Structure formats: C-alpha cells, structure tokens
Amino acid sequence: MNGYSRRDFILAGAAAAAAVLSPSAALAGGVGQPGQDAAATGSSDFGTENQCGDPHGDSESLSFDPLKVQQWVSGQTKAAFEPRIEKFPDSLLAASAGYLNMTRSANEDDISRMLALFDLPFKWENGKSVPFCAAGVSYVAAMVYARQAGARSFSSAVLRNHLGDIDRHHFYPSPSVQDMLYVAMGKRRWLSRATALKHDTRPKPGWLVIFDWDADGVPDHVGLVEDAIADKLKTIEFNTAATIAGNQVNGGAIARRERDYDRRILGFVRTEIVRPV
C-alpha cells in the first residue's frame, strides 16, 4: 500500500466519489466533518479489525480483502445502477426483521450466506467464529435491491451486483465496520453522536448506528436504529446477544436490542442521504 493505511485508501476513494457527485462540495469541505467526526480512526492494519457485538463480549477478529470489496462495490460490471429505493430505511428494517432470532448455532446456513457475500467463511481455520454484524446488514441491503430488480436467485454473485447500488444511494456495504464509517465520512453521510446532540438531531429509523464500546474512537459494532426514545435507542443488530436480559457476553444472534444513548455510541450513517451535503 506504499505506506498508506486502509483508512487513507478508503477515504481517498470516498472523497473521489463525493467529488463526482458534487465537485464544489468536495473541494470546499474535504473529507468528513471537522473535530470529533474526523477523529474516529481505526486500525491501520490492512484488512484486519476486531468486532464485538456487546459491551462485555469477547472481540472477534475479521480479516478480509478491502480491494476485492471495493471492486464489487464499484459496479464495474454493471450496465446501469438500479433506481434508488425512496423508502430504503424502512425496507431495510422490515427485511432485517425477517432474520430476527436467528443464531449461529441454529441457522448456520443463513449466516454463512451473509459472510459468503464477501467471500468469508463461517469459521476461521482455528475454529473461531467470523463476525457478521456489518456483513449481515450489507447482505440484507443487497437482498432489498435484488428483490426490487426482480432477481430470481439470490446467490452471492447476484447480490454482489447490487453492492454498488447500496453504496451509490445509501451506505458502503462491507464486512468492515471501520470502512462503513470511513466512507460515510467521505460522502458526508456521517453524523457523530456529539453533533447530533449539539443540533438536537434525533436518530431516524433505518439509520446505521456505530458503537464504540470502550470509547477509544475505534468502531466495534454496527446495528440498525429502529427507534429513538429519550436516552435509549431501540435497534436490530446482527451478531449480538440474543436477549436484552441475561448473559450479554455470548453473541452470534440477530436480535432486537435496547442501548443507552451514551458515549459508547460513536454516531450514525444517514441511509437516506444520497449526495454530499
């Protein structure tokens, strides 16, 4: 990578995409937002990050090929992008709800398909599980666009053909929470929790919420906002604990959660934003 980190690579690509959509905005504003929004940095290790579905859970390691993901997302083989789904946040929530209560132990085939979208195994060779919070959200988003396009099969190859639609219209589909964040910053779809509080902006249903459990500026987990009530967020999350009560360490489920709206929430990806603002 000639001394550049994955963050540099992804941000540069996102800035270039933003410039194509709105050259004046990209030149005037640069990448992301100033201050705390741009300070959310992750590991510079190429294609490697840790994800964790709950505050007290064990981290799971993700290793992937970001160049391959970018090639799929770029839509190089597409003749044209699909029309934007106007109520995509609602469609994404409704489709995600169809996977509620699935777990690694009971639904290996379903979760394997989510990971296979990004050419990832269900488990690593050492027997450890592959995290799927970001891969799961991306998979369901691809299903939403494939259904709109009238797809008759939903193989990884078919779904990959819609990753570019998701990126163009809503968010960067990836198995990486960090890359989702970086591209959202580059395309000005990112809203930090601090900025949301400052401007009294209430998170909307269907936005992505990115968690930072130890508040170190490095994203750990992503979910979907279902509702925002006072100091709580109701979410749908992939690769989390199965219930709100009880053991919050053992993840691997797709479940509704209720999270405190505190400093462990890094911010949000606004999935209804198309062009840089």
pLDDT in tens, 214-263: 999 999 999 999 999 889 999 999 999 986 554 445 579 999 999 999 99
Predicted confidence band of residue 17 (pLDDT cuts 50, 70, 90): very low
The Cα–Cα gap between 32 and 133 comes to 23
pLDDT at position 47: 86
pLDDT value for 79: 77
Whether 89 shows a pLDDT value over 60: the answer reads yes
pLDDT at 6: 54
- Answer whether residue 173 is part of any domain: yes
Per-residue confidence at 113, pLDDT binned at 50, 70, 90?
Answer: very high
> Which of the 8 DSSP states describes residue 239?
E
> pLDDT value at position 29?
30
Tell me: pLDDT of 276 over 60.
no
* Residue 86: domain span: 6-269
pLDDT value, residue 57? 87
- pTM here? 0.84
- Tens digit of each residue's pLDDT (9 = 90 or more) over 18-61: 443 333 333 223 333 322 332 333 334 468 999 999 998 889 99
DSSP structure string for 103-164? BTTT-HHHHHHHHHTTT--SB-TTSPBPP-HHHHHHHHHHHHHHHHTT-S---HHHHHTTHH
DSSP 37: G
Give the model's pLDDT for residue 1. Answer: 44
Average pLDDT across the chain, whole number: 84
How many structural domains comprise the chain? 1
On whether residue 236 sits in a domain, the answer given is yes
Rounded to 5°, angle at Cα 124 from 123 and 125: 120
For residue 167, tell me if it sits in a domain: yes
The whole-angstrom distance between residue 3's C-alpha and the CA centroid of its chain comes to 26
Maximum CA extent, the chain: 51
Q: What are the tokens at 21?
A: 């959509």
Q: Evaluate whether residue 276 is within a structural domain.
A: no
- 274 lies in a domain? no
Check residue 203 and give its pLDDT: 95
Percent of the chain with pLDDT over 70: 78
10-16's contacts with Cβ under 8 Å and 24+ in sequence apart are 10/66, 10/70, 10/179, 10/182, 10/183, 10/186, 11/182, 11/183, 11/185, 11/186, 13/70, 13/183, 13/186, 14/172, 14/182, 14/183, 14/185, 14/186, 14/187, 15/186
Q: For residue 1, is it within any domain? A: no
What phi and psi, each to the nearest 5 degrees, are found at residue 123? -135, 150
pLDDT confidence bin for 109, thresholds 50/70/90: very high
DSSP state of 206: T
Q: 203-213, pLDDT tens digit by residue?
A: 999 999 999 99
Q: How far apart are CA 8 and CA 18, in angstroms?
A: 15
Q: Is the pLDDT of residue 116 over 70?
A: yes
Task: Confirm whether 68 is domain-assigned.
Answer: yes
pLDDT at 19: 42
> Residue 75 — very low, low, confident or very high, per pLDDT cuts 50/70/90?
confident
Task: Confirm whether 277 is domain-assigned.
Answer: no
Residue 166 parent element (H or E): helix 163-169
**pLDDT greater than 70 at residue 153:** yes
Helices (H) then strands (E): counts for the chain: 10, 8
